[in-house]
Amino acid sequence: MGILNVTPDSFAGAYPGVTAAVDAALQMVADGADIVDVGGESTRPGAPPVAADEELFRVVPVLRALRGRVGVPISIDTYKASVAGAAIDAGAAIVNDVSGLRYEPSLAGVVADAGAALILMHTRGRPQTMASEAVYADVVAEVTAELRASINAARSGGVSIDRIIVDPGIGFAKRASHSYGVLAHAADIVAALDRPVLIGASRKSFLRDAVGGRAAPERDWGTAAAVTAAVLAGAHIVRVHAVAEMVQVVRVADEIRRHG
């Protein structure tokens, strides 16, 4: 999954403007992306909220411009029901909800009515408060249980189980040790939930200390290690910035797993 941020404040690179975003998406697909994830609101820790009309202004023209030009599914990275509905109308086939239906439960009905797929990510609190929510007795067990609750909420909202993907939310309401713990035990989450698992570790701050304090755009080597671990643990999708490089990483890790 290639990350296509159309925001002015992404932590690790963005493509504001329709032309730049479309060119970037086409390059991602040419580089081997299987999904392109379009986002119009940064949800990094501490990020300010964006109004729905501004988010729509950013993403809908990009989605419309991409429709028919790429041969892979387009995902919309939003937790807002109104944005998800407009994005689906504009060509998105997947809704990537970082809140796991905690912010707007009505999102489930929008996804169900459209027959779209739904990614449920684990988090706690909002971007402004999530750091204070990073308290766990057993991070893997608690993340698994909270994702199961999100799955149940989606099912209650009408979403078919075969259209649900889960994401343990590395870096969201988690300290670095929690993110490493989730990554190290991703296989347990895969086994417990019996749903496809997405891992989004690309360039995130939990990697910072291990790579010598490098800024986000300089963390691709660290990302490669995290992506390898995710694939070996059984993750089905990895969400990345550097598509061409990570396609190579995934293919080699897949071969290792296949021979294991």
Q: Is 239 marked active-site?
A: yes
| Catalytic residue of the set 239, 251, 257, 258 | 239
What is the CA 81 to chain-centroid distance, rounded? 17
Q: CA 146 to CA 126: how far, in whole Å?
A: 16
Say how many residues make up the chain.
260
Q: What is the DSSP string of 62-81?
A: HHHHHTTT-SS-EEEE---H
Q: CA 35 to CA 37: how far, in whole Å?
A: 6
Answer whether 248's CB lies under 8 Å from 236's CB: no
* Encoded tokens for 128: 């402004």
Place of tokens 């989730």: 182
Q: Is 174 marked active-site?
A: no
| Catalytic residue of the set 204, 208, 257, 258 | 204
List residues with catalytic annotation: 204, 239
